[in-house]
Amino acid sequence: MQRSEVVALDKRHVWHPYTPMDEYIARTDPLVVVGAEGPYLFDADGTRYLDANGSWWVSTLGHRHPRLVRALTEQAGAFPHTSLAGVTHAPAARLAAELVALAPGADRAGLPEAERLSRVFYSDNGSTAVEVAIKMAAQYWAQNGRPARTRFITLSGAFHGETIGATSVGGVEVFRDVFGPLLFDVVHVPSPAEPAGWERALAQVEATLRAHPDEIAAVILEPLIQGAAGMHVYAPAFLRAVREATRAVDTFLIADEVFTGLGRTGARFACDLADVVPDLLCLAKALSGGLMPFAATLATERVFSGFAGGSERALYYGHSYCGNPLGAAVAREVLAVYRDEDVLGQVARKAPRVKAAFERMAADIPGVTRPRALGLVGAVDLGGGGYLARAGWRVYEAARRRGLYLRPLGDTVYVAPALNIPDAALDELLAGVEASLREVAHAGG
């Protein structure tokens, strides 16, 4: 099929995510991907694009990693799917044990059994991983003596996914305002990534917990980086202090590591950088390396044991694809590749170059501000409003002409490439971002 025919069918029938469709249909010439390899996407017109965001943060080992493809096809040949109701299989069972062994706190001597992340609930994607964590927290308190604990504390700028529950605990106004009447009530505190510092956010978390200890089911947050809000990085000290504050009133901390988990920040989990063990931990995206929609919610032994003691106390929750064998087999192979290819070591080696490059861009290019970086994430903002109001998209277009797929978050330009991106490709990526920013800054200035 011709490229133009694909685009015509697409524009006739496909409704794209996060896309003003009238504008897209009128003006956008989409990438038409026909292949992918490592950090690259190939368009039907023969252009090669460097994938600056790992295809929405999932492709952490690059596209078509041969070991992941093999794990997927071998499992497909054995059995691609079973329910997980009265059924189990080696991929789900072994993956659960491997995740528990890697989880925050797993190697901390003296951590009480009740506080260990020892149980794994599978689902399909990041939103459902969060949704089930919310339900686990609410149901736990409902049937363990604190029935008024139904509210969640969440951060301004938080992003936890798309379902109504995940949207309710979100803090990005444009994603939630239109659904306002459908969302449950939460307590929003300021973002700890505010330029003024994290102390104000912490003071409000502490004050809310002190004032309403009987009402708060959990604090939910993205550890160390608020991703979708614009790659806002904050201090590990905030995360540690929130953990202490939740412990002081004995309520839960939900760590949404759908973006940060599995190496993005340079550690296995962002929680590890703050030496924090949450009560619930949400994983998706990198977990299955961009091959399958697959997610896991880890719970402590304490949370798990709050559902014992009678069938009416069980968690009545599940998805058709819970524990899907293809996803589980790929996820096991993802973990094996991390070990065998020392992926965390690779991130540690490359992270300083990302940080230095974004700092240089902010120092050198007029209108480019707020450089930030952590692990293999680097970001800058484009100066306030005016001709720069749509500058993120102008940078996108300038980057595309250079063979770079660099989708912005509003006026935040960022990279979150595959963690195993080869050095030469990383150089190409950083140079391409810089050149694209310069082009837009000069055109506008």
Ligand X SMILES: *Cc1c(COP(=O)(O)O)cnc(C)c1O
Contacts of 65 (CB under 8 A, 6+ apart): 289, 337
Q: Residue 125 or residue 139: which is nearer to ligand X going by CB? A: 125
Answer yes or no whether residue 159 interacts with ligand X by CB under 6 A. Answer: yes
Q: Which of residues 305-334 bind ligand X (CB under 6 A)?
A: none
Strands 187-189 and 151-155: what pairing? parallel
State the CB neighbour count (10 A cutoff) for residue 246.
22
Answer yes or no whether residue 160 interacts with ligand X by CB under 6 A. Answer: yes
Answer yes or no whether residue 125 interacts with ligand X by CB under 6 A. Answer: yes
Q: Residue 286 or residue 440: which is nearer to ligand X going by CB? A: 286
Which residue of 96, 99, 201, 228 would you call a contact of ligand X, by CB under 6 A?
A: 228
Which residue of 39, 126, 190, 432 would you call a contact of ligand X, by CB under 6 A?
A: 126
Q: Residue 144 or residue 163: which is nearer to ligand X going by CB? A: 163
Cβ–Cβ < 8 Å for 268, 295: no
- Rounded distance, CA 101 to CA 105, Å? 9
Answer yes or no whether residue 152 interacts with ligand X by CB under 6 A. Answer: no
Q: Applying CB under 6 A, which part among 66-74, 119-127, 338-346, 424-432 lies near ligand X?
A: 119-127
DSSP letter for each residue of 361-383? HHHHSTTEEEEEEETTEEEEEE-
Answer yes or no whether residue 279 interacts with ligand X by CB under 6 A. Answer: no
Q: Where are the beta strands (DSSP E) in 268-409?
A: 280-283, 295-300, 368-374, 377-382, 404-405
Binding mask 166-195 for ligand X (x = CB under 6 A): ------------------------------
Which residue of 284, 287, 361, 376 would you call a contact of ligand X, by CB under 6 A?
A: 284
Residue nearest to ligand X (CB): 126
Q: Residue 230 or residue 367: which is nearer to ligand X going by CB? A: 230
Q: Residue 141 or residue 159: which is nearer to ligand X going by CB? A: 159
- Residue 374 burial by Cβ neighbours in a 10 Å radius (0-12, 13-18, 19+): buried
Which residue of 258, 287, 344, 425 would you call a contact of ligand X, by CB under 6 A?
A: 258
Judged by CB under 6 A, how many residues of this single chain contact ligand X?
A: 15
- Closest CB 388 distance from ligand X, rounded Å: 25
- Closest CB 184 distance from ligand X, rounded Å: 17
| Cα dihedral: 331, 271, 225, 200 (round 10) | 160
- Closest CB 384 distance from ligand X, rounded Å: 25
- Rounded distance, CA 55 to CA 47, Å? 17
- Rounded distance, CA 311 to CA 51, Å? 48
SS3 label, residue 280: strand
SS3 label, residue 229: coil
Which residue of 259, 269, 304, 358 would you call a contact of ligand X, by CB under 6 A?
A: 259
Q: Residue 259 or residue 304: which is nearer to ligand X going by CB? A: 259
Answer yes or no whether residue 289 interacts with ligand X by CB under 6 A. Answer: no
Q: Which of residues 45-64 bind ligand X (CB under 6 A)?
A: none
Binding mask 3-32 for ligand X (x = CB under 6 A): ------------------------------
- Closest CB 300 distance from ligand X, rounded Å: 20
DSSP letter for each residue of 50-113? EETTHHHHT-TT-BT-HHHHHHHHHHHHH-S---SSS---HHHHHHHHHHHHHSTTTT-TT--G
Q: Residue 324 or residue 436: which is nearer to ligand X going by CB? A: 324
Q: Which residues are registered as beta bridge partners of 84?
A: none
- Rounded distance, CA 302 to CA 222, Å? 22
Q: Applying CB under 6 A, which part among 229-237, 251-259, 329-337, 377-385 lies near ligand X?
A: 251-259
Contacts of 251 (CB under 8 A, 6+ apart): 149, 209, 213, 216, 217, 218, 219
Answer yes or no whether residue 256 interacts with ligand X by CB under 6 A. Answer: yes
Q: Applying CB under 6 A, which part among 221-229, 317-325, 336-344, 355-363 lies near ligand X?
A: 221-229
Q: What letter represents residue 280's amino acid?
A: L
State the CB neighbour count (10 A cutoff) for residue 424.
8
Can you give the binding site for ligand X, defined by CB under 6 A?
A: 125-127, 130, 159-162, 222, 227-228, 256, 258-259, 284
